[in-house]
Structure 1
Protein backbone atom coordinates (compact mmCIF):
# COMPACT_ATOMS: atom_id res chain seq x y z
CA UNK A 1 0.00 0.00 0.00
CA UNK A 2 1.28 3.44 -0.92
CA UNK A 3 1.54 6.26 1.62
CA UNK A 4 -0.37 9.49 1.20
CA UNK A 5 1.66 12.62 1.78
CA UNK A 6 -0.25 14.99 4.07
CA UNK A 7 1.06 18.54 3.81
CA UNK A 8 0.33 21.16 6.44
CA UNK A 9 -2.24 23.75 5.42
CA UNK A 10 -2.72 27.22 6.78
CA UNK A 11 -6.03 27.54 8.61
CA UNK A 12 -6.08 31.33 8.82
CA UNK A 13 -6.18 32.03 5.06
CA UNK A 14 -9.71 33.12 3.97
CA UNK A 15 -11.46 30.61 1.67
CA UNK A 16 -8.37 28.39 1.79
CA UNK A 17 -10.42 25.17 1.50
CA UNK A 18 -12.13 26.38 -1.70
CA UNK A 19 -8.80 27.45 -3.19
CA UNK A 20 -7.30 24.04 -2.39
CA UNK A 21 -10.16 22.18 -4.10
CA UNK A 22 -9.72 24.27 -7.24
CA UNK A 23 -6.08 23.14 -7.42
CA UNK A 24 -6.92 19.43 -7.04
CA UNK A 25 -6.26 19.20 -3.30
CA UNK A 26 -8.56 18.00 -0.52
CA UNK A 27 -8.47 19.70 2.91
CA UNK A 28 -8.63 17.59 6.04
CA UNK A 29 -7.81 17.26 9.71
CA UNK A 30 -5.83 14.55 11.51
CA UNK A 31 -6.64 13.78 15.15
CA UNK A 32 -4.19 11.92 17.37
CA UNK A 33 -1.88 11.97 20.37
CA UNK A 34 1.14 12.97 18.31
CA UNK A 35 -0.49 15.15 15.66
CA UNK A 36 -2.60 17.49 17.88
CA UNK A 37 -5.33 18.19 15.32
CA UNK A 38 -3.02 18.62 12.34
CA UNK A 39 -4.74 20.46 9.46
CA UNK A 40 -3.56 19.11 6.13
CA UNK A 41 -4.06 19.05 2.38
CA UNK A 42 -3.71 15.98 0.20
CA UNK A 43 -3.80 15.37 -3.56
CA UNK A 44 -7.31 14.42 -4.69
CA UNK A 45 -6.18 11.82 -7.25
CA UNK A 46 -3.86 10.09 -4.76
CA UNK A 47 -6.59 10.09 -2.12
CA UNK A 48 -9.22 8.64 -4.50
CA UNK A 49 -6.81 5.90 -5.56
CA UNK A 50 -6.19 4.81 -1.96
CA UNK A 51 -9.88 4.98 -0.99
CA UNK A 52 -10.79 2.78 -3.96
CA UNK A 53 -8.51 0.14 -2.38
CA UNK A 54 -9.44 0.54 1.29
CA UNK A 55 -13.06 1.72 1.18
CA UNK A 56 -14.50 4.81 2.83
CA UNK A 57 -14.15 3.41 6.37
CA UNK A 58 -10.71 1.91 5.89
CA UNK A 59 -7.19 2.55 7.13
CA UNK A 60 -4.76 4.73 5.20
CA UNK A 61 -0.98 4.88 5.34
CA UNK A 62 0.30 8.44 5.39
CA UNK A 63 3.39 10.60 5.78
CA UNK A 64 3.41 14.02 7.43
CA UNK A 65 5.31 16.43 5.21
CA UNK A 66 7.42 13.54 3.92
CA UNK A 67 8.21 12.00 7.35
CA UNK A 68 8.07 8.27 8.17
CA UNK A 69 4.86 6.32 7.49
CA UNK A 70 1.94 6.25 9.93
CA UNK A 71 -1.56 4.75 9.88
CA UNK A 72 -4.89 6.53 10.25
CA UNK A 73 -8.54 5.45 10.32
CA UNK A 74 -10.95 7.35 8.07
CA UNK A 75 -13.42 8.84 10.56
CA UNK A 76 -15.44 11.00 8.19
CA UNK A 77 -15.38 11.57 4.45
CA UNK A 78 -17.54 14.32 2.97
CA UNK A 79 -18.53 14.40 -0.69
CA UNK A 80 -20.07 17.13 -2.81
CA UNK A 81 -23.77 16.18 -3.22
CA UNK A 82 -23.72 17.00 -6.95
CA UNK A 83 -20.25 16.04 -8.24
CA UNK A 84 -19.58 13.36 -5.53
CA UNK A 85 -16.01 14.64 -5.30
CA UNK A 86 -14.36 14.34 -1.89
CA UNK A 87 -14.40 17.79 -0.28
CA UNK A 88 -13.15 17.06 3.27
CA UNK A 89 -11.50 14.26 5.21
CA UNK A 90 -11.22 13.50 8.95
CA UNK A 91 -8.53 11.03 10.00
CA UNK A 92 -7.65 9.48 13.38
CA UNK A 93 -4.02 8.54 13.84
CA UNK A 94 -3.51 4.97 15.06
CA UNK A 95 -0.91 3.58 17.44
CA UNK A 96 0.80 0.31 16.52
CA UNK A 97 -1.53 -2.69 17.06
CA UNK A 98 -4.23 -0.35 18.39
CA UNK A 99 -7.74 -1.82 18.35
CA UNK A 100 -10.23 0.22 16.36
CA UNK A 101 -14.00 0.21 15.98
CA UNK A 102 -15.19 0.84 12.45
CA UNK A 103 -18.18 0.28 10.16
CA UNK A 104 -17.70 -2.34 7.44
CA UNK A 105 -20.08 -2.49 4.44
CA UNK A 106 -22.11 -5.68 3.92
CA UNK A 107 -22.01 -7.08 0.37
CA UNK A 108 -25.09 -9.15 -0.49
CA UNK A 109 -23.90 -11.75 -3.01
CA UNK A 110 -26.54 -13.20 -5.36
CA UNK A 111 -29.13 -10.42 -5.28
CA UNK A 112 -29.58 -10.57 -9.07
CA UNK A 113 -30.43 -14.29 -8.91
CA UNK A 114 -33.00 -13.51 -6.24
CA UNK A 115 -34.62 -10.85 -8.42
CA UNK A 116 -34.77 -13.23 -11.40
CA UNK A 117 -36.81 -15.61 -9.22
CA UNK A 118 -39.33 -12.82 -8.50
CA UNK A 119 -38.10 -12.00 -5.02
CA UNK A 120 -36.58 -8.89 -3.50
CA UNK A 121 -34.12 -8.34 -0.67
CA UNK A 122 -35.31 -5.79 1.88
CA UNK A 123 -32.06 -4.43 3.31
CA UNK A 124 -32.27 -3.18 6.87
CA UNK A 125 -28.54 -2.63 7.32
CA UNK A 126 -25.82 -1.72 4.83
CA UNK A 127 -22.93 -2.11 7.28
CA UNK A 128 -21.96 -3.50 10.68
CA UNK A 129 -19.59 -2.32 13.38
CA UNK A 130 -16.52 -4.41 14.16
CA UNK A 131 -13.52 -4.16 16.45
CA UNK A 132 -10.08 -5.22 15.19
CA UNK A 133 -6.56 -3.97 14.53
CA UNK A 134 -5.93 -1.70 11.55
CA UNK A 135 -4.19 -4.49 9.62
CA UNK A 136 -7.17 -6.85 9.83
CA UNK A 137 -9.96 -4.39 8.93
CA UNK A 138 -11.73 -5.79 5.83
CA UNK A 139 -12.98 -3.63 2.96
CA UNK A 140 -16.37 -5.40 3.16
CA UNK A 141 -18.04 -8.56 4.49
CA UNK A 142 -19.85 -10.87 2.03
CA UNK A 143 -23.03 -12.80 2.72
CA UNK A 144 -24.30 -15.27 0.12
CA UNK A 145 -28.06 -15.01 -0.45
CA UNK A 146 -28.25 -17.20 -3.60
CA UNK A 147 -30.22 -19.98 -1.90
CA UNK A 148 -32.74 -17.69 -0.19
CA UNK A 149 -36.48 -18.29 -0.32
CA UNK A 150 -39.47 -16.14 0.54
CA UNK A 151 -39.54 -15.36 4.25
CA UNK A 152 -35.81 -15.78 4.85
CA UNK A 153 -34.51 -13.38 7.49
CA UNK A 154 -30.81 -12.63 7.85
CA UNK A 155 -29.33 -11.44 11.13
CA UNK A 156 -25.94 -10.06 12.13
CA UNK A 157 -25.10 -13.48 13.59
CA UNK A 158 -25.41 -15.04 10.09
CA UNK A 159 -22.37 -13.09 8.88
CA UNK A 160 -19.17 -15.11 8.67
CA UNK A 161 -16.22 -12.99 9.77
CA UNK A 162 -12.55 -13.74 10.34
CA UNK A 163 -11.48 -14.72 13.85
CA UNK A 164 -9.52 -11.47 14.15
CA UNK A 165 -12.77 -9.49 14.04
CA UNK A 166 -15.19 -8.90 16.89
CA UNK A 167 -18.71 -7.84 15.91
CA UNK A 168 -19.95 -4.98 18.09
CA UNK A 169 -23.59 -5.01 16.92
CA UNK A 170 -26.22 -7.25 18.52
CA UNK A 171 -26.09 -10.65 16.76
CA UNK A 172 -29.91 -10.83 16.70
CA UNK A 173 -30.26 -7.56 14.75
CA UNK A 174 -32.00 -8.14 11.39
CA UNK A 175 -29.86 -7.03 8.44
CA UNK A 176 -32.13 -8.16 5.56
CA UNK A 177 -35.22 -10.18 4.68
CA UNK A 178 -36.50 -11.84 1.51
CA UNK A 179 -40.00 -11.25 0.15
CA UNK A 180 -41.89 -11.74 -3.09
CA UNK A 181 -41.85 -8.67 -5.27
CA UNK A 182 -44.88 -6.59 -4.43
CA UNK A 183 -46.84 -5.02 -7.25
CA UNK A 184 -47.48 -1.33 -6.91
CA UNK A 185 -50.85 0.34 -7.53
CA UNK A 186 -49.57 1.66 -10.87
CA UNK A 187 -48.64 -1.90 -11.95
CA UNK A 188 -52.18 -3.06 -11.15
CA UNK A 189 -53.69 -0.13 -13.07
CA UNK A 190 -51.55 -0.95 -16.11
CA UNK A 191 -52.80 -4.56 -16.06
CA UNK A 192 -56.44 -3.42 -15.81
CA UNK A 193 -55.98 -0.96 -18.68
CA UNK A 194 -54.33 -3.66 -20.78
CA UNK A 195 -57.21 -6.08 -20.11
CA UNK A 196 -59.78 -3.40 -21.02
CA UNK A 197 -57.98 -2.58 -24.28
CA UNK A 198 -58.35 -6.21 -25.40
CA UNK A 199 -62.12 -6.28 -24.74
Structure 2
Protein backbone atom coordinates (compact mmCIF):
# COMPACT_ATOMS: atom_id res chain seq x y z
CA UNK A 1 0.00 0.00 0.00
CA UNK A 2 1.53 3.27 -1.12
CA UNK A 3 1.11 6.56 0.68
CA UNK A 4 -1.31 9.07 -0.86
CA UNK A 5 -0.14 12.66 -0.92
CA UNK A 6 -2.98 14.93 0.19
CA UNK A 7 -2.65 18.70 -0.02
CA UNK A 8 -4.63 20.86 2.38
CA UNK A 9 -7.30 22.84 0.55
CA UNK A 10 -8.81 26.15 1.56
CA UNK A 11 -12.30 26.75 0.21
CA UNK A 12 -11.97 30.46 -0.40
CA UNK A 13 -13.97 30.89 -3.58
CA UNK A 14 -17.19 29.69 -5.13
CA UNK A 15 -16.68 26.86 -7.62
CA UNK A 16 -13.13 26.16 -6.34
CA UNK A 17 -13.80 22.39 -6.39
CA UNK A 18 -14.85 22.55 -10.06
CA UNK A 19 -11.71 24.52 -10.91
CA UNK A 20 -9.53 21.97 -9.08
CA UNK A 21 -11.13 19.12 -11.06
CA UNK A 22 -10.27 20.91 -14.31
CA UNK A 23 -6.67 21.05 -13.05
CA UNK A 24 -6.68 17.25 -12.53
CA UNK A 25 -7.24 17.40 -8.76
CA UNK A 26 -10.00 15.69 -6.79
CA UNK A 27 -11.36 17.48 -3.69
CA UNK A 28 -11.98 15.54 -0.52
CA UNK A 29 -12.47 15.62 3.24
CA UNK A 30 -10.60 13.64 5.88
CA UNK A 31 -11.98 13.49 9.41
CA UNK A 32 -10.95 11.85 12.64
CA UNK A 33 -10.35 12.36 16.35
CA UNK A 34 -6.85 13.79 15.89
CA UNK A 35 -7.49 15.78 12.71
CA UNK A 36 -11.00 17.07 13.17
CA UNK A 37 -12.28 17.71 9.65
CA UNK A 38 -9.90 18.94 6.94
CA UNK A 39 -10.46 19.59 3.25
CA UNK A 40 -7.80 18.34 0.85
CA UNK A 41 -7.09 17.74 -2.81
CA UNK A 42 -5.32 14.84 -4.49
CA UNK A 43 -4.13 14.18 -8.03
CA UNK A 44 -6.79 12.33 -10.04
CA UNK A 45 -4.29 9.86 -11.53
CA UNK A 46 -2.77 9.06 -8.11
CA UNK A 47 -6.24 8.45 -6.65
CA UNK A 48 -7.38 6.28 -9.59
CA UNK A 49 -4.25 4.14 -9.22
CA UNK A 50 -4.87 3.62 -5.48
CA UNK A 51 -8.58 2.82 -6.00
CA UNK A 52 -7.67 0.14 -8.55
CA UNK A 53 -5.51 -1.52 -5.87
CA UNK A 54 -7.56 -1.06 -2.68
CA UNK A 55 -11.10 -0.75 -4.05
CA UNK A 56 -13.65 1.91 -3.20
CA UNK A 57 -13.98 0.91 0.47
CA UNK A 58 -10.34 0.14 1.19
CA UNK A 59 -7.74 1.38 3.65
CA UNK A 60 -5.13 3.94 2.57
CA UNK A 61 -2.06 5.52 4.12
CA UNK A 62 -1.80 9.27 3.60
CA UNK A 63 0.49 12.25 4.10
CA UNK A 64 -1.40 15.51 4.62
CA UNK A 65 1.13 18.35 4.68
CA UNK A 66 3.54 16.32 6.83
CA UNK A 67 0.92 14.56 8.98
CA UNK A 68 1.01 10.80 8.34
CA UNK A 69 -2.07 8.71 8.98
CA UNK A 70 -4.22 5.78 7.93
CA UNK A 71 -7.81 6.15 6.76
CA UNK A 72 -10.68 4.12 5.39
CA UNK A 73 -12.51 5.33 2.30
CA UNK A 74 -16.00 6.19 3.55
CA UNK A 75 -17.61 7.66 0.44
CA UNK A 76 -16.81 8.34 -3.20
CA UNK A 77 -19.01 10.57 -5.32
CA UNK A 78 -18.86 9.96 -9.06
CA UNK A 79 -20.15 11.82 -12.08
CA UNK A 80 -23.30 9.94 -13.21
CA UNK A 81 -22.30 10.13 -16.89
CA UNK A 82 -18.49 9.80 -17.00
CA UNK A 83 -18.14 7.79 -13.72
CA UNK A 84 -15.09 9.89 -12.84
CA UNK A 85 -14.47 10.53 -9.15
CA UNK A 86 -15.80 13.96 -8.15
CA UNK A 87 -15.20 13.88 -4.37
CA UNK A 88 -13.84 11.50 -1.72
CA UNK A 89 -14.39 11.22 2.04
CA UNK A 90 -11.79 9.56 4.27
CA UNK A 91 -12.09 8.64 7.96
CA UNK A 92 -8.88 8.35 9.95
CA UNK A 93 -8.52 5.02 11.76
CA UNK A 94 -6.23 3.42 14.33
CA UNK A 95 -3.87 1.17 12.36
CA UNK A 96 -3.66 -1.38 15.22
CA UNK A 97 -7.36 -1.69 16.08
CA UNK A 98 -10.24 -3.44 14.36
CA UNK A 99 -12.37 -1.53 11.89
CA UNK A 100 -15.88 -2.05 10.57
CA UNK A 101 -16.44 -1.53 6.86
CA UNK A 102 -18.81 -2.38 4.03
CA UNK A 103 -17.23 -4.79 1.54
CA UNK A 104 -18.76 -5.35 -1.92
CA UNK A 105 -20.09 -8.81 -2.79
CA UNK A 106 -19.05 -9.94 -6.28
CA UNK A 107 -21.13 -12.58 -8.02
CA UNK A 108 -19.05 -14.96 -10.16
CA UNK A 109 -20.90 -16.95 -12.85
CA UNK A 110 -23.90 -14.60 -13.07
CA UNK A 111 -23.65 -14.48 -16.89
CA UNK A 112 -23.72 -18.29 -17.10
CA UNK A 113 -27.06 -18.34 -15.24
CA UNK A 114 -28.66 -15.91 -17.71
CA UNK A 115 -27.75 -18.20 -20.64
CA UNK A 116 -29.89 -20.88 -18.95
CA UNK A 117 -32.86 -18.50 -18.47
CA UNK A 118 -32.16 -18.16 -14.75
CA UNK A 119 -31.98 -14.80 -12.97
CA UNK A 120 -29.94 -13.93 -9.90
CA UNK A 121 -31.76 -11.38 -7.74
CA UNK A 122 -29.33 -9.57 -5.45
CA UNK A 123 -30.97 -8.12 -2.33
CA UNK A 124 -27.62 -6.91 -0.95
CA UNK A 125 -24.48 -5.91 -2.84
CA UNK A 126 -22.25 -5.50 0.22
CA UNK A 127 -21.67 -6.91 3.69
CA UNK A 128 -20.42 -5.25 6.88
CA UNK A 129 -17.28 -6.87 8.27
CA UNK A 130 -14.91 -6.34 11.19
CA UNK A 131 -11.15 -6.93 10.87
CA UNK A 132 -7.70 -5.35 11.12
CA UNK A 133 -7.13 -2.68 8.43
CA UNK A 134 -4.54 -4.80 6.60
CA UNK A 135 -6.99 -7.75 6.39
CA UNK A 136 -9.84 -5.76 4.77
CA UNK A 137 -10.64 -7.46 1.44
CA UNK A 138 -11.31 -5.47 -1.73
CA UNK A 139 -14.42 -7.64 -2.25
CA UNK A 140 -15.91 -11.00 -1.26
CA UNK A 141 -16.63 -13.34 -4.15
CA UNK A 142 -19.42 -15.90 -4.29
CA UNK A 143 -19.69 -18.46 -7.12
CA UNK A 144 -23.30 -18.67 -8.33
CA UNK A 145 -22.62 -20.59 -11.56
CA UNK A 146 -23.99 -23.87 -10.11
CA UNK A 147 -27.14 -22.28 -8.67
CA UNK A 148 -30.53 -23.81 -9.37
CA UNK A 149 -33.98 -22.22 -9.46
CA UNK A 150 -35.01 -21.60 -5.85
CA UNK A 151 -31.43 -21.35 -4.53
CA UNK A 152 -31.05 -18.85 -1.70
CA UNK A 153 -27.76 -17.32 -0.54
CA UNK A 154 -27.39 -16.17 3.08
CA UNK A 155 -24.52 -14.18 4.57
CA UNK A 156 -23.51 -17.36 6.43
CA UNK A 157 -22.70 -18.86 2.98
CA UNK A 158 -19.94 -16.30 2.34
CA UNK A 159 -16.42 -17.67 2.65
CA UNK A 160 -14.15 -15.29 4.56
CA UNK A 161 -10.87 -15.88 6.36
CA UNK A 162 -10.72 -16.46 10.11
CA UNK A 163 -9.29 -12.94 10.56
CA UNK A 164 -12.56 -11.42 9.23
CA UNK A 165 -15.89 -11.39 11.10
CA UNK A 166 -19.21 -10.66 9.43
CA UNK A 167 -21.05 -8.04 11.52
CA UNK A 168 -24.42 -8.26 9.73
CA UNK A 169 -26.93 -10.97 10.73
CA UNK A 170 -25.70 -14.24 9.20
CA UNK A 171 -29.30 -15.34 8.49
CA UNK A 172 -29.81 -12.40 6.10
CA UNK A 173 -30.55 -13.44 2.52
CA UNK A 174 -28.39 -11.47 0.09
CA UNK A 175 -29.37 -13.20 -3.18
CA UNK A 176 -31.86 -15.67 -4.62
CA UNK A 177 -32.31 -17.43 -7.95
CA UNK A 178 -35.52 -17.56 -9.98
CA UNK A 179 -36.66 -18.28 -13.52
CA UNK A 180 -36.51 -15.41 -16.00
CA UNK A 181 -39.92 -13.86 -16.69
CA UNK A 182 -40.49 -12.86 -20.31
CA UNK A 183 -42.81 -9.96 -21.05
CA UNK A 184 -44.96 -10.43 -24.15
CA UNK A 185 -43.52 -8.30 -26.96
CA UNK A 186 -45.52 -5.84 -29.04
CA UNK A 187 -45.59 -8.25 -32.01
CA UNK A 188 -47.27 -10.95 -29.89
CA UNK A 189 -49.84 -8.50 -28.52
CA UNK A 190 -50.74 -7.24 -32.00
CA UNK A 191 -51.22 -10.77 -33.37
CA UNK A 192 -53.66 -11.55 -30.54
CA UNK A 193 -55.94 -8.58 -31.38
Normalising by the smaller structure, the TM-score range is over 0.9
Name the counterpart of 1:154.
153
Name the counterpart of 2:120.
121
Q: What is the distance in 2 between the residues matched to 1:14 and 1:53?
A: 33
Write out per-residue CA displacement over residues 140-163 of structure 1, whole angstroms, 9 at most, x where no aligned residue.
Answer: 001111221111111111111111
Going from structure 1 to structure 2, the CA distance change for 1:83 and 1:192 (only over 3 Å counts) comes to closer
Name the counterpart of 1:51.
51
Larger radius of gyration between Structure 1 and Structure 2: 1
Describe the SS at the equivalent of 1:78: strand
**When the two structures are superposed, what TM-score results if normalisation uses the length of structure 2?**
0.92
Name the counterpart of 1:173.
172
Name the counterpart of 1:182.
181
- Where structure 1 has 5 or more consecutive residues not aligned to the other structure, the ranges are none
Describe the SS at the equivalent of 1:17: helix
Q: What is the distance in 2 between the residues matched to 1:15 and 1:190?
A: 52
Describe the SS at the equivalent of 2:36: coil
Q: Could you tell me how far 1:35 is from its partner in structure 2?
A: 1.6
Name the counterpart of 1:88.
87
Q: What is the distance in 1 between the residues matched to 2:175 and 2:33?
A: 39
Q: Could you tell me how far 1:34 is from its partner in structure 2?
A: 2.1
Q: How many aligned positions are there?
A: 192
**When the two structures are superposed, what TM-score results if normalisation uses the length of structure 1?**
0.89
Name the counterpart of 1:20.
20
Q: Could you tell me how far 1:137 is from its partner in structure 2?
A: 0.5
Q: What is the distance in 2 between the residues matched to 1:159 and 1:22?
A: 42
**Counterparts of 1:66-145 in structure 2 under 5 Å?**
67=66, 69-145=68-144
Write out per-residue CA displacement over residues 49-68 of structure 1, whole angstroms, 9 at most, x where no aligned residue.
Answer: 11111111111121112x36
CA-atom RMSD in angstroms: 1.7
Q: What is the distance in 1 between the residues matched to 2:120 and 2:50?
A: 31
